[in-house]
Chains A and B, each alone.
Chain A
Amino acid sequence: NFMLTQPHSVSESPGKTVTLSCTRSSGSIVTNYVQWYQQRPGSSPTTVIFEDNRRPSGVPDRFSGSVDSSSNSASLTISGLTTEDEADYYCQSYDSDVVVFGGGTRLTVL
């Protein structure tokens, strides 16, 4: 099966914009939807983006998702960073009825 590779950690300042990447190792990133989950310390993951670029109700429009076939990767962009955005972010996709998570990116807002 394929892997999803995410940078281990990213830091950015409050008010800035950050983009988290998720690269698919084999197969096309555009073939199957990508989801993004946010996990704050001590909490269960919650969805911030599903089906590549859709936001669940309640997720601010500061969060946006995209996929790029040329780099075979998905991206999560968070604008207007606040300290509440500090969390682990996981991308997730699937193929042949198998679900795969990326290793996660720890976002630090300082």
Chain B
Amino acid sequence: QVQLQESGPGLVKPSETLSLTCTVSGGAISSYYWSWIRQPPGKGLEWIGYVYYSGSTSYNPSLKSRVRISVDTSKNHFSLRLSSVTAADTALYYCTRGSHCGGDCYSPYHMDVWGKGTTVTVSS
């Protein structure tokens, strides 16, 4: 059974870059879409963006200028970089897998596996 594990610094200074990695175990990163979702304290879920195993991406328009998501198939992991962070970027960050909808169909739009999440605090 595939499992996802987020890792990265729990504390980032304002104006710096947040960097997280999601390691995929129990399954291959190939063929699937991989997303980052975040949840500010006490608030709802916000989609950050996704990367396809081939490297193509799509981002939340509200974050697009600051976000980069990349994939490393050789290491079976994918990563998030969010630049120029502020306190508003303080959140629990989840990595997720898009679903296999059958045959050659893989979708980024239904996230069927989630990591446990990692908390990132932006503070000086």
Contacts and interface: CB of A to CB of B under 8 A. Distances in A.
A complexed with B: yes
Interface stretch (A19-27, A65-73, A75-83, A99-107): A99-107
Given A101-B44, A103-B44, A56 B114 contact: no
Contacts of A101: 37, 44-47
A102 B101 CA distance: 23
Nearest to A35: B110
Contacts of B115: 44
Contacts of B108: 94, 99
Interface string B106-123: 001111101111000000
A51 interface: yes
B79 to A, nearest CB: 19
Interface of B: 35, 37, 44-47, 50, 58, 60-61, 94, 99, 101, 108-112, 114-117
A1 to B, nearest CB: 6
A35 to B, nearest CB: 5
Nearest to A104: B44
A45 B60 contact: no
Contacts of B37: 101
Query: Interface on chain A toward B: helix, strand, loop, or mixed SS?
Result: strand
Contact of B94 (A33, A44, A51, A97): A44
B84 to A, nearest CB: 21
B114 A104 contact: no
Nearest to A32: B109
Contacts of A50: 99, 110, 112
A104 B60 contact: no
A28 interface: no
Nearest to B45: A101
B61 A90 contact: no
Contacts of B114: 44-46
21 contacts: A32-B109, A33-B110, A35-B109, A37-B45, A37-B111, A44-B116, A44-B117, A51-B101, A51-B110, A56-B112, A92-B45, A92-B109, A92-B111, A94-B109, A98-B58, A98-B61, A99-B47, A99-B109, A101-B46, A101-B47, A104-B44
Nearest to B62: A1
